[in-house]
Structure 1
């Protein structure tokens, strides 16, 4: 199939592009290579993919550039769009809220408009477990309400689900939303805990644990995320004619729209997570316990049974195994960083 992956230089995006190319799909990537974190890591991810599967078209475009996105859709005519690009991070949304409105709302609208005017067979987009917010009933089910987000980031992801539903209803666009649960693994984002914690431990810096280390998280290894996406590509949702309007299921619809959780279904206490990192790194952490931070969710746990029924697959890589793979990459990458000159934006446009 002809597939467009946005956020192709990102953590999940790069892994996704690699898998889809290996599966024989015709893949085009899109990324703006912004400086939310060091863009060199994004270029290194792209180089890693190309080293394994060769060149692939990659457009240097910002989500807010509606005309450039529309031009890309006209040129590539994708059958499937996997929309992973977004302004990420819960804590950064407290400092720079407009970035989330511009990228996660305005940018997603541009993707939806292009899917409307250049019809696609399936739009898969990234949501987040953060949408569950103040909900304390676990495991989190896609049948649960998500009316109390605790951060602007979570609110934009909740809005994305509603925006996708409206376009699915109005224009018949098959849309699948994926609520990711704490994704980790090689090539991860440096603002997330695996790299932050691993750096603190290896450099003998103080490791700050908020909520006094009492959090629990449902960690999901990157390969399980990518396997789920790969299986969903050719499984667009269908309308449910007998959908109950009086007792509506929040995860399905009269429109061709649905939601899935993708999580390991085995929440791990934060202190256990740190202990596993210590084991694989062979070092002991210097820990400082701090109060709960604004926007943080206490505990997460996914009910991924709907995903299993739809695809025959559910995440299966245990945290101990996954962290071992992550640490192997972490020690190698930060000891021997790849050096690649960033490609100019214009040359990337011409590569299409």
Structure 2
């Protein structure tokens, strides 16, 4: 892959999280020096985060810092301590449904935390800031596939609103302070070492243990499930591609995911939506056990469909997600059985 000029030190926030763990592992193998930041909160099973971290710290190319992004003095000290080339901000309070129950958690992590990262990148300039956005910014949009040229002003959860806010904040700092920023609208990422609060993880646990699973909207939703290795490949290819200013940018004819500022937003998804019932059927097949399904109405904050238009990513970095739902869920179930020592 194309190397960054000068130092190759990357800060990954949320490094003990699902995507952060896999990205850290990949960059370590590519001989980057990775500084991992995480506050090790207990939003989900802490032992899983600790095991991810223990795997990472075995490498001489990885240094861990236990820091909460909402503490600006700690963030400032971190940027003083290391000379970062690139920052990949994956730390966030995740979860659409959790944002309905605990809205204030999202202000601290997703808004204050991200502002502190932007301020640090302003005070200690970096070559590129990449950050996690989400497919949830498309809200109630009906036109599919979802394109970065579509309006995203109608979120249906506070989580989605904070992710849209991150994109607006990043654009402001790109414009005012020439910080090259790239936003990544992730589409339902899944795979080994995943998040226990995600449906595929909890479904697997419940099917194995013989507990009923809740199938919302009677299984008539579609998700653009994207395997973790495809996501990581996309991020790694984007790291050396810092956006540049385009003073001739014109919103009437140019892509809305770009700007006159050094700013870019991409969809990063599989480009192949799968109906929830098909997803469950594949999971049953890989586990070798039928689920006890409880059919439920649509949950507040949920959307009917996610479907990523990734044509810009294909054009710019030759991004081609290649993992089928059958292969991806098979790998996840194999990992789950090994990690939790499941005997069926």
Partner of residue 39, structure 1 = 46
Residue 17 of structure 1: aligned partner: 24
Instruction: Provide the secondary structure at the position in 2 that maps to 1:335.
Output: coil
Rounded to whole Å, the distance in 2 between the matches of 1:188 and 1:273 is 16
Tell me by how many angstroms 1:245 deviates.
4.2
RMSD over aligned Cα atoms:
1.1
Task: Verify: 1:275 aligned to 2:272, yes or no.
Answer: no
Picking from 62, 66, 86, the partner of 1:60 is 66
Structure 1 contact 86–103 (Cα < 8 Å) conserved: yes
Shift of 1:247: 5.1
Structure 1: 5+ residue runs without aligned partners? 337-352
- Name the CA distance, whole Å, in 2 between partners of 1:327 and 1:251: 36
**Match for residue 133 of structure 1?**
139
SS of equivalent to 2:270: coil
| 1:145–1:250 contact (8 Å) kept in structure 2 | no
Give how far 1:220 is off: 0.3
- Residue 149, structure 1, aligned to residue 155, structure 2: yes
Distance 2:340 2:156 in 1: 34
How many residues get paired?
Answer: 335
Matched with 1:339 is none
Cα displacement (A) at 1:268: 0.4
Distance in 2 (CA, whole Å) between partners of 1:162 and 1:203 is 44
Question: Which deviations, in whole Å up to 9, do the C-alpha atoms of 1:83-140 show, x marking residues without a partner?
Answer: 0000000001111100001110000000000000000000000000000001011100
Structure 2 residues without counterparts, runs of 5 or longer: 1-7
Q: CA separation in 1, counterparts of 2:252 and 2:284? A: 51
Task: Determine helix, strand or coil for the equivalent of 1:137.
Answer: coil
Instruction: Provide the rounded CA distance (Å) in 2 between the counterparts of 1:217 and 1:105.
Output: 26
CA pair 327-162 structure 1, distance change in 2 beyond 3 A:
same
Superposed structure 1 runs of 4+ greater than 6 Å apart: none
Distance 2:272 2:254 in 1: 28
* Deviations 1:23-53 (CA, angstroms, capped at 9, x unpaired): 11111000000011121110111123345x4
CA gap 1:268/1:245 in 2 versus in 1, 3 angstroms? closer
User: TM-score scaled by structure 1?
Assistant: 0.93
Structure 1 equivalent of residue 126 of structure 2:
120
Alignment partners' CA distance in 1, 2:32 and 2:115? 26
